[in-house]
Each structure stands twice: as structure tokens, then as C-alpha cells.
Amino acid sequence: MAKLPVVKGDEAIKAFGRVGFSLDHWSGGHAILYHADGRHLSIPGGKRELKAGTLRTLIRKADLTADEFTELL
């Protein structure tokens, strides 16, 4: 299992945008991103670092591996 990088919410939003997710709206402190094939992500935005479990779940929901996500940063 690859080691996850330390990522802030805003950085994760940009990285997922590089694989086709687009920002739809903000709900509270979370950015809601949608993909053309129907997948969606709810990412805590801002300057706070994402917890490892949260980041791993987001990567899994985006159908990426940790290595693929790291290359997007």
C-alpha cells in the first residue's frame, strides 16, 4: 500500500479536477464535485489537511490508486 501524501482540501480539489471532476457547488465547508459518468465526491475544502482515512476514501471513490493520485499533485 502506497504512502499517502499530506494534502490540504484545496489541493485535493485541484487534483481531482485533473481527472475530470468538476466543482458543482459548496455545501457548508465541503466542495461537491461531479464527474461526467455520475460519480461524485464531497471534499472538505480549505487550508486544513485531510485525514489519511478521508483521503484514502476519496481516492477509492474516484477509482484511482494512491500512486495515481500522488502524480496528480
Could you read off the pLDDT of 11-22 as tens digits, one per residue? Answer: 999 999 999 999
Q: Is the pLDDT of residue 57 over 70?
A: yes
Task: Give the pLDDT mean for 27-51.
Answer: 92
The CATH number that applies at residue 43 is: 3.30.920.30
List helix spans (H) across 1-73.
9-17, 52-61, 66-72
In this structure, which amino acid lies at residue 24? D
Residue 2 within any structural domain of the chain: no
Residue 1 within any structural domain of the chain: no
Q: Is the pLDDT of residue 3 over 90?
A: no
CB hemisphere CA count around 3 (13 angstroms):
2
Task: Give the pLDDT mean for 59-69.
Answer: 94
Q: From CA 16, how far away is CA 40, in angstroms rounded?
A: 11
This prediction has a pTM of 0.89
pLDDT for 1 equals: 60
Containing structural domain, residue 32: 9-72
